[in-house]
Each structure stands twice: as structure tokens, then as C-alpha cells.
A and B are shown apart, each in its own frame.
Chain A
Amino acid sequence: NSKVIQTPRYLVKGQGQKAKMRCIPEKGHPVVFWYQQNKNNEFKFLINFQNQEVLQQIDMTEKRFSAECPSNSPCSLEIQSSEAGDSALYLCASSRTQNTGQLYFGEGSKLTVL
């Protein structure tokens, strides 16, 4: 069972609507990743954090996507204006350090944009 908690499990939005997903990383894991998994099982890295600081992010994230990991609060990923192509499973994962590569995944938030 996942110790990384993602909410909500499912969300349905209309085009142009805002979509927000939350993630509580495993205790003691300061590194958090967001990946987008499409219906073809392809993973796209979106952004990662160490504590509250962004380590890396893709260009797409800088436009309609925003994410944060505030201290003492869940991390979040928000899509400001959803598009049909954003329909996917959004996976949050955490890790003890930047250097092991081993990720602990949540069960994901499945976004459907109508």
C-alpha cells in the first residue's frame, strides 16, 4: 500500500477549468516528483522539488502548470486552464535523496478533461 498519499483519485473538468491535485510524500522524503502518465503508459516528467525548492521542471510546466511543496502542507500540482490533452494519470513520487533514483509512488490522480 502506498505511503505517498494523492488526492483526489479522480477528477473531471471541462476545458478551460482549473484542476488541482495534492500529494503528501512519504515521511522523511524531502524530494518530490510529478509525472504525467498518458493512456499509452508514457511517462512525462513535469517537475521535482527538494523540500520547497524546485530542482527541475519542463517548459510546459511553466505555462499552464504550476506546482509547489510548501512547508508543513501537501505538495500540489495545478493546471490553470485544462485542455483535452491534459487527460492523464498524474503520479506523485517521493524519494529520500536526489541520488538514489528509487521512487515511492502514490496511486495517482486521474484527470479527465471533457
Chain B
Amino acid sequence: AQSVTQPDARVTVSEGASLQLRCKYSYSGTPYLFWYVQYPRQGLQLLLKYYSGDPVVQGVNGFEAEFSKSNSSFHLRKASVHWSDSAVYFCALFSGGNYKPTFGKGTSLVVHP
């Protein structure tokens, strides 16, 4: 069985501060991993994805994530957040044979001006 855990339901930071949102996965192989963002009253938008190769992947709007097979993690980072980054962030795992991505429960990010 595969699963995704986002241990922080809510993260609050000040504008300009750095950010890390945590994602841990459970899967015996090497999965495809994704981070999506959901703004209020909108669908999910892809921030970045990891398939293979360089464990640090760059995404949109200054976001990056680092894959660690040894830690079964795919944490999302941003050097300096903006108030407009306030949203819910979802980590997702795809294992190929299962055909349907598995999502974490999301982390709600609140950025104070």
C-alpha cells in the first residue's frame, strides 16, 4: 500500500520568511512525486514534480522541493514567501502500476503581511 503524510495541517509564517512544508511517503519503490497548490474556490495547480534524476526540482513562483529516498520525503521549500502564497498545499504520489495518484491531507499555509 502507498500513502502520503503531511504532518503539519497548518503553517503560519511572516512575509519574507523562508518556508518548508513537509511531505513523507510510504512506497517500496521510487515513486513519482508532486506538489500542488489550491487557492480558495479554485482547483489544484501543479507547482512541481519529481520523476528521477536531480533530487532537487524547481517549480513555479520560486518553489523547489527535494526528494530523499533514504528519508522517504519530498519537502517543499521557498526562500522568501509572499502573502499571495497563502493557500493549501498538497503532496501527491504516483506509483505507475496503481494508475491513480494518492494525495496527502494538505497543509494550509498562512502568510502574515
**Residue ranges of A at the interface with B (Cβ–Cβ < 8 Å):** 2, 4, 6, 33, 35, 40-43, 45, 48, 55-56, 91, 93, 98-108
Question: Among residues 87 to 113 in chain B, which have CB atoms less than 8 Å away from a CB atom of chain A?
Answer: 88, 90, 92-94, 96, 99-103, 105-106, 108
B100 x A33 contact (CB < 8 A): yes
The answer on a CB contact under 8 Å between B101 and A107 is: no
> Are A108 and B88 CB-contacts (below 8 A) given A43-B103, A56-B99, A101-B32?
no
Residue of A nearest to B94 (CB): A101
Total CB contacts across the A-B interface at under 8 A: 56
Instruction: Count residues of chain B with CB under 8 A from any CB of chain A.
Output: 24
A35 CB to closest chain B CB, in angstroms? 8
Within 8 A of A (CB), among B23-55: 32, 34, 36, 41-46, 49
The answer to whether A42 touches B43, judged by C-beta atoms less than 8 angstroms apart, is no
- Are B100 and A56 in contact, with the CB atoms below 8 A? yes
Residues from chain B with Cβ under 8 Å of A106 in the complex: 43
Q: What's the Cα separation between A109 and B101 when bound, in Å?
A: 20
Nearest opposing residue in chain A for B100, CB measure: A45
> Shortest beta-carbon distance, A75 to chain B, in Å?
15
**In the assembled complex, which residues on chain B have CB atoms less than 8 Å from the CB atom of A35?**
103
Minimum CB distance partner of A101 in chain B? B94
The answer on a CB contact under 8 Å between A99 and B96 is yes
> Nearest CB to that of B49 among chain A residues?
A102
Partner of B99, one of A4, A41, A55, A104: A55
